Every structure is written in structure tokens, then in C-alpha cells.
Amino acid sequence: MACSFRVVRRCPHTQARAGIFYTPHGPVLTPTFMPVGTLATVKGVTPEQLASTGAQMILANTYHLHEQPGEEIVQHCGGLHRFMHWSGPILTDSGGFQVFSLSSLRQITDEGVTFRSPRNGNLIHLTPEKSIQIQNALGADVIMAFDECPPYPAHYEEVKRAVYRTYHWLGRCVRAHQRADQALFGIVQGGVYPQLRQLSAQQVTQYDLPGYAIGGVSVGEPPELMHKIVQTVTPWLPPDKPRYLMGVGTYREMALAIAAGVDLFDCVIPTRLARHGAALVQEERWNLKNRAFQRDERPLDATCPCYTCQHFSRAYLSHLFRARELLGYTLLSIHNITELMRFSLGLRQAIIDGTFAERLAVYER
């Protein structure tokens, strides 16, 4: 098996667990946050800078890499790790999220999805087999099954169709998967309907896969509904396999999901916020363009070990964003990723230390 998972400590008061996810490119301490590198780059930072943040595992996207530069080029250049000079584990999303995000440009059938490329207008036909073929060529450690992610809100019958389609597509993904050195994860769908989430979890776990994801969240539903979805799904997932909550990277949502037994998270938040001058500092969000920072000589966070906090002042960062200097995007991306890595791995340490329940109380109010 390409990957394996071991739980090293459980919280006696919640379902939280500290684990180690073993991959061909090294172990990943969980729970953890995974930065997003859609087009084989985490925006604004070099691989060396990314490694300095404490990032362990990163994401890339099948649909976007298929469009540009094409999986054949990535494969010709030695696979995704060598292509982007990242030596740690990589996960590729299947393109299933684009079924949701490009809804105005696609048509879904039981066979697959046809997209009208927003980049050049070309038609792209993506099937479960094609998604797996692309991901096999890219060569990530973890690949995701092709699924249908319904929007929010959506009627029960529409979501039910997506659940069954996701299940049937998973079977096709399993049969198409050709590489023993890549771990295929299945995805649970079901929208905000508990009975459909339970059904999807039961269907997906019929396949003995190396890990399972909870998809179809962070698509517009209120946070409290997301928490209910996670609490509904996790008891139906195998306790000895990693659980991945897709597209979630905010403090409270991660903490509550960890309490429910989730191990992996990803989100574009740290770099997207950085491009708009927003800093994540001790679980707060600061706008560095504000006048209050113009003469502030302190680092963003005196407790933060990142390159940005060790060398630059709030005043300098504020200047960079006011002047629209590209260095500002890089420095703030380094800090924001470091912040979310410290947060997620700090919760992991709290599980090991037996203090997780006290940390969690802050987010349950």
C-alpha cells in the first residue's frame, strides 16, 4: 500500500486524535493544514520558503494542470515533485470541485463532465477514468476520486443523484487506478442532508481505500451546518484511516472538525488573504493597509518564528501593500501559512499533552 496511517494518541473527551500519515515522500504529522498549490505552485512563495513555514503536505489540482501545462509535460519532466521542486508529499484534487465552481461552464452526465474552458474556450471532457489517468501521470502521493459536488442550497433529490453518481464514479476510479505507489481517497458527499451523508459514507467505505474525504462543504452553507455534516460523517468512516475535510482552513472550523476526528485540511485562505494585505495573527485577521500600522515597528507576531516576523516590521509590511510591491505578497504568505501550520500542529500537541479539551472550549462558545 502506498500510504498508511497510525494513531498515536486520542483525546479522552472528544474524537480528536494525533496521528502519523506515512507517504512515499515522508511522514505527515496529523492533524495538519495543507497549503494549496493549484498550478504546481503555492502562490507567492518558493518551495524553500514553503518548507520553512512547517508545511508538510501540499495540494495541486488535476483540472487546472491538465489545462496548463498538461499532464504529459509534467510527466516528461519527472512528475509533479520534480517539476515543482517539492520533496514532501503532494495530494492532487480530482477536478471534482470544478464540477461545482465552473457550474456555468459545464454539463454533467453519468458518463462524466464536459467543461468549457474559462481560459481559452476549449471543450474539456473529464470522466472518472480520465481524472485518474491524469493523476497517475502527475504522480502525487495521494489522488482523489472524481466526484460530483452539489451546490448549496440544493434540493434533496438533486443531492441524492450526486451521491449515487459519486459512488458509481468511485467504482470506475478504483478500476482505472494503475499505480500502486499512489493512494486513492474516496469522497463522501450528501450536502446538508444527514441521511444522504450517512448513505454516501456507507457506499464509499465499501471500498477499502487508504483514506477518505468529506467533500461538498465550504460551498456556501453556514458554518454550523458544516459542523453538523462533519459530526454526522466521521462516525461512519474507518477509525484506522485518515480523514480529510476538503476546502476548510479557518480556526474555529478546523478546531471543531479535529474534535470530531478529522486529520487533514486544505484551503487557499493564507495566500489569498496575503494578496489582499490581510494577516493572520494569533487567530485574528488584520488589514495591514490600515493607518494604525504605518509607524508600528513591532513584528507581526513576536512569538512567530517565520522569516517575515524575524526580519520585518508591521510598518514595512504596511508600506509594501500600500505601494503594491510584490514582496509584500511573499512575506505575508510566508507568515500566514506559518500561522496555520502552528495552529494545526499546536492542536496536535494539545491532543498529545491531554489539554485539547481545554483548547477546544474556546471554540464551542
Of 284, 288, 333, 286, nearest to 308 by C-alpha is: 333
Whole-angstrom CA distances from 258 to 31, 85, 235, 241, 252 are 7, 31, 13, 14, 10
Please provide the DSSP assignment of 119-180 as one string: TT--EEEE-HHHHHHHHHHHT-SEEE-------SS--HHHHHHHHHHHHHHHHHHHHH---T
Of 64, 170, 191, nearest to 127 by C-alpha is: 170
The full set of domain ranges for the chain reads: 4-267, 268-358
- Tens digits of pLDDT across the chain (365 residues): 689 999 999 999 999 999 999 999 999 999 999 999 999 999 999 999 999 999 999 999 999 999 999 999 999 999 999 999 999 999 999 988 886 777 777 789 999 998 888 778 888 899 999 999 999 999 999 999 999 999 999 999 999 999 999 999 999 999 999 999 999 999 999 999 999 999 999 999 999 999 999 999 999 999 999 999 999 999 999 999 999 999 999 999 999 999 999 999 999 999 999 999 999 999 999 999 999 999 999 999 999 999 999 999 999 999 999 999 999 999 999 999 999 999 999 999 999 999 999 999 999 98
Whether cis (ω within 30° of 0) applies to the bond prior to 223 is no
Residue with C-alpha cell 520533496?
87
Long-range contacts of 345-348 (CB under 8 A, 24+ apart): 345/29, 345/32, 345/54, 347/16, 347/31, 347/254, 347/255, 347/258, 348/18, 348/29, 348/30, 348/31, 348/32
Helix (H, G, I), strand (E, B) or coil at 245: strand
Instruction: Please give the DSSP secondary-structure letter assigned to residue 293.
Output: G
Q: What is the largest CA-CA distance in the chain?
A: 60
Helix (H, G, I), strand (E, B) or coil at 316: helix
Instruction: Please give the DSSP secondary-structure letter assigned to residue 16.
Output: -
Report the alpha-carbon angle 60-62-63, nearest 5: 120
The catalytic residues are: 93, 266
The Cα–Cα gap between 74 and 206 comes to 33
**Yes or no: is domain 4-267 CATH 3.30.460.80?**
no
- Rounded to 5 degrees, what are φ and ψ at 68? -155, 115
Measured torsion, CA atoms of residues 113, 117, 123, 129, in degrees rounded to the nearest 10: -40
